[in-house]
């Protein structure tokens, strides 16, 4: 293989030089390859240049003509402020168009009479211009030589996000130079056979077409990055991604794990203990998990299940299997409240089965560390304190991580170091669309609990205006008088001077006043763990009927008798968060109510979120909607450390390509695990992952 021409530095390109080179480097374009993968963010169809005489008012049009005059008019507004109006008259032989800029007189110097230019903007015909069509603040580009007309007009023109110091035109010319240069001899890493099978275009052609599309290309397809050329580039990234993931998976599969061969004695006793039968989905997922555990390579499995689908029982089945084989287990929750709650419920069951259970959170530290180290403790339930403290296990065999989106990759790694290669089960109620799940947790196998336990009554979700207090109180009073319990969630703990949002502390007082015959409890993150535990216990056993809280109850709290969830300032909460909160109710057999109390002003996005919640109880749909409203970046909050960047591909938009890439990757690896027949693919793979793999390999 020849020298990698695309690795050449951008500042060495003819006509760029150090100054512009630095500017380009600032936006991540260091090499020719970087430039080629810096795609236009939109395209403009300039193939349809309109005659000025045929312009349609109110539409976006493009014309090409000669500058006849440019004048600056000064005038005073009614307020007395001085204003300028720059008018540039352009003639294309069929008529005259006036381009107008307000208070941008400095632009005049770019309009030289006699020069040809090209304008694109929305056409207006104002009465004061006596029928002469006008464009207010149009985009424009002058045509200085013939080459210009090849690059910037008469074609579908790419528009780039450029950077200060480089104009759109200069930027486009640079990219044109690189993409169409005779030097664009790129090595296509994708094997011929794959291209043939998938019908995807070649790499060089794709790179050229995304930068300099043919005039016949569908512009709307270009603008949604949906041309076969865009798809091809997305495919490449997915394929390299999948290949890398496959390598990681293979490496973990080779690692020596524990083979848990249990007779199922404890599991059998658990079944007898439960007041219900496991759902079909629970049974299926337990079979999948026990299958993994039996195998000799360490389990890495992601369990997805909507709120209330019964993930805890599945986890317990895995835990019992490990314990029966003589190993210790860890159940890690994201918050102390949740850890404590699991300790109460799971702990009680496990104790009945004669197992030893310990709670280990930030505030229980150092209590029974010796017992854990000696191997006396079978199950450690806790928070991340488990991995932060100097906790040593004698024989850690399994770690269950609940609500994993709160745990980063790093934490997973740390936990694994506690044992040799313990099995890991990660559980999440944030239903991540499949394509994304694979990407984020690509080194995990995936199980889905797609069935709720029977007898669940749907939750009625309603939006209330904050002024409709009486109706809200009526519903609450109704449920309370039937012996049911109520959650009220606030965005804040205390009143704050900087905000006029209602707070939990305030709310508690209000509810005590309105419902004097009932007991109101308060729960928030700043309370001491023992106080929190106390309140939760009292709510669980019914001594507290109204639990006023912040979002500390977001995940996992389970009180089947609670039938009302009130979210105050619902306009402030995220979609997934509210779905989680709503999941706290509807766990009993009576119907439940979720009241979303919104304060004005209500933005469009907030309105949409509330509508989605009212319209759907399906966590997967809600999370897709959430993703659509917020975009993947925000959806996951923090970036997933160690994953390579996708420059072209978009998990959601190109999910079809992700599927194809997955199939093709599997096919290639099956025939040639070492990719020995594909040196270029191997090279591309190494480049794509660079040092990332080390970060991400957790095995
Ligand atoms: P999540 O998936 O949200 O963690 P949980 O494990 O907390 O759900 O379960 C929610 C509730 O459903 C709990 O009260 C649990 O005891 C109950 N549950 C779990 N499995 C079943 C089942 N098969 N039938 C009836 N109730 C179940
Ligand atoms: Mg749970």
Lay out the sheet containing 546-549: strands in order across. 459-465, 592-598, 562-568, 485-489, 546-549, 520-523
Q: Which residues of 545-566 are buried (b: 16+ CB within 10 A; e: fewer)?
A: bbbbbbbbbbbbbbbebbbbbb
Please check the confidence at residue 492 and state whether its pLDDT lies above 80: yes
Q: Ligand 1 in contact with 558 (CB < 6 A)?
A: yes
Of residues 631 and 84, the one with the higher pLDDT is 84
CB atoms within 10 A of CB 692: 15
Same fold, 48-154 and 459-616: no
Reduced to 3 states (helix: H, G, I; strand: E, B; else coil), residue 532 is helix
pLDDT recorded at residue 389: 59
Please tell me the distance between residue 312's alpha carbon and the centre of ligand 1 in angstroms.
Answer: 7
CA distances from 523 to 252, 337, 438, 488 (A): 42, 10, 36, 10
More confident residue, 498 or 274: 274
Rounded distance from Cα 515 to ligand 2 centre (Å): 31
Q: Are 124 and 57 in contact (CB under 8 A)?
A: yes
Contact 309 CB / ligand 1 (< 6 Å): yes
- 3-state per-residue secondary structure call for 467-526: CCHHHHHHHHHHHHHCCCEEEEECCECCCECCECCCEHHHHHHHHHHHCCCCCEEEECCC
What does the mean pLDDT of the chain come to? 84
Q: Give yes or no for residue 556 CB within 6 A of ligand 1.
A: yes
Task: Report the nearest-CA residue for atom 25 of ligand 1.
Answer: 453
Ligand 1 center–CA 456 separation, angstroms: 10
More confident residue, 519 or 618: 519
Any long-range contacts for 606-609 (C-beta under 8 Å, 24+ apart)?
A: 606/570, 606/571, 606/572, 609/573, 609/574, 609/575, 609/578
- Alpha-helical (H) ranges within 484-641 are 504-514, 529-540, 575-582, 604-615, 619-635
DSSP string, 423-438: EEEEEESS---HHHHH
Crossing angle for the helix pair 336-352 and 311-324, nearest 10 degrees?
50
**Does the C-beta of 305 come closer than 6 Å to ligand 1?**
yes
The predicted-structure confidence for 298-343, as pLDDT tens digits, reads as follows: 888 889 888 788 999 999 999 999 999 999 999 988 777 778 888 8
Q: Is the CB of 20 under 6 A from ligand 1?
A: no
CATH superfamily of 48-154: Nucleic acid-binding proteins (2.40.50.140)
Q: Which atom of ligand 1 is the closest one to the Cα of 311?
A: 2
Kindly report the CA angle at 313 between 426 and 552, in degrees rounded to 5? 65
Confidence of residue 642 (pLDDT cuts 50, 70, 90): very low
429 lines ligand 1 (CB under 6 A): yes
Distance 273 CA to ligand 1 centre (A): 14
Answer whether 162 contacts ligand 1 (Cβ < 6 A): no
Cα-Cα-Cα-Cα dihedral sign, residues 381, 384, 389, 393: positive
Does ligand 1 have an atom closer than 6 angstroms to the CB of 431? no
Task: Give per-residue pLDDT as tens, 671-695.
Answer: 888 899 999 999 888 888 775 544 4
Q: Does 310 contact ligand 1 (Cβ within 6 A)?
A: yes
CATH number of the domain at 459-616, out of 3.40.50.300, 3.40.630.30, 3.40.50.2300, 3.40.50.150? Answer: 3.40.50.300
User: Of all atoms in ligand 1, which is nearest to the CA of residue 449?
Assistant: 2
- The residue extents of the domains of the chain are 1-44+161-215, 48-154, 459-616
**Distance from residue 66's CA to the centre of ligand 2 (Å):** 69
């Amino acid at each position: 293989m020849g020298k990698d021409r695309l690795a050449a530095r951008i500042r060495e390109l003819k006509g760029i030089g150090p100054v512009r080179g630095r500017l380009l480097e600032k936006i991540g374009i260091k090499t020719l390859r970087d430039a080629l993968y810096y795609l236009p963010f939109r395209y403009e169809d300039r193939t349809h240049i309109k005659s000025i005489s045929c312009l349609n008012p109110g539409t976006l049009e493009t014309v090409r003509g000669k500058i006849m005059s440019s004048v600056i008019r000064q005038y005073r507004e009614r307020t007395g402020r001085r204003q300028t109006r720059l008018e540039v008259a352009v003639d294309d032989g069929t008529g005259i168009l006036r381009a107008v800029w307000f208070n941008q007189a400095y632009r005049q110097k770019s309009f030289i009479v006699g020069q040809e230019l090209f304008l694109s903007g929305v056409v207006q015909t104002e009465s004061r211009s006596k029928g002469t069509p006008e464009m207010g603040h149009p985009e424009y580009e002058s045509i200085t030589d013939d080459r210009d007309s090849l690059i910037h007009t008469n074609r579908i023109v790419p528009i780039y996000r450029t950077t200060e110091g480089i104009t759109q035109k200069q930027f486009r010319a640079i990219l044109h130079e690189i993409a169409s240069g005779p030097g664009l001899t790129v090595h296509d890493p994708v094997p011929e056979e794959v291209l043939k099978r998938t019908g995807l275009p070649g790499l060089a052609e794709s790179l050229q077409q995304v930068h300099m599309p043919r005039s016949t290309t569908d512009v709307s397809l270009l603008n949604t990055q949906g041309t076969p050329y865009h798809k091809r580039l997305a495919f490449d990234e997915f394929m390299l991604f999948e290949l890398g993931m496959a390598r990681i998976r293979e490496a973990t599969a080779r690692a020596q794990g524990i083979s848990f061969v249990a007779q199922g004695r404890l599991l059998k006793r658990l079944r007898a203990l439960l007041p219900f039968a496991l759902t079909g989905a629970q049974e299926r997922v337990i079979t999948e998990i026990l299958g993994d555990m039996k195998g000799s390579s360490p389990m890495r499995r992601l369990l997805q299940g909507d709120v209330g689908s019964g993930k805890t029982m599945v986890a317990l089945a895995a835990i019992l299997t490990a314990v029966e084989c003589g190993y210790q287990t860890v159940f890690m929750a994201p918050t102390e409240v949740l850890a404590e709650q699991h300790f109460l419920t799971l702990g009680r069951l496990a104790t009945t089965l004669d197992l030893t259970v310990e709670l280990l959170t930030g505030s229980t530290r150092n209590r029974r560390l010796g017992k854990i180290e000696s191997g006396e403790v079978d199950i450690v339930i806790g928070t991340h304190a488990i991995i932060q403290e100097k906790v040593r296990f004698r024989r850690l065999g399994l770690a269950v991580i609940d609500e994993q989106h709160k745990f980063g990759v790093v934490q997973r790694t740390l936990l694994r170091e506690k044992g040799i290669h313990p099995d890991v089960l990660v559980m999440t109620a944030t239903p991540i669309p499949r394509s994304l799940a694979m990407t984020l947790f690509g080194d995990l196998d995936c199980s889905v609990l797609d069935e709720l336990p029977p007898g669940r009554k749907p939750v009625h979700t309603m939006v209330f205006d904050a002024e409709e207090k009486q109706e809200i109180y009526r519903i609450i009073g109704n449920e309370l008088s039937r012996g049911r319990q109520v959650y009220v969630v606030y965005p804040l703990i205390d009143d704050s001077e900087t905000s006029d949002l209602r707070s939990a502390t305030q709310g508690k007082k209000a509810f005590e006043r309105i419902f004097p015959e009932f007991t109101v409890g308060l729960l928030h993150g700043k309370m001491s763990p023992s106080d929190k535990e106390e309140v939760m216990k009292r709510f669980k056993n019914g001594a507290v009927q109204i639990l006023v809280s912040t979002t500390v109850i977001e995940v996992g709290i389970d009180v089947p008798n609670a039938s009302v969830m009130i979210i105050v300032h619902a306009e402030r909460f995220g979609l997934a968060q509210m779905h989680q909160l709503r999941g706290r109710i509807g766990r009993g057999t009576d119907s439940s109510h979720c009241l979303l109390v919104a304060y004005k002003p209500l933005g469009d996005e907030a309105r949409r979120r509330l509508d989605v919640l009212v319209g759907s109880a399906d966590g997967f749909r809600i999370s897709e909607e959430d993703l659509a409203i917020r975009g993947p970046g925000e959806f996951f909050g923090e970036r997933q450390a160690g994953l390579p960047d996708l420059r072209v591909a978009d998990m959601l938009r190109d999910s079809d390509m992700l599927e194809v890439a997955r199939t093709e990757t599997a096919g290639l690896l099956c025939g040639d695990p070492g990719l020995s027949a594909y040196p270029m693919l191997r090279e591309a793979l190494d480049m794509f992952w660079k040092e990332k793999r080390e970060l991400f390999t957790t095995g």
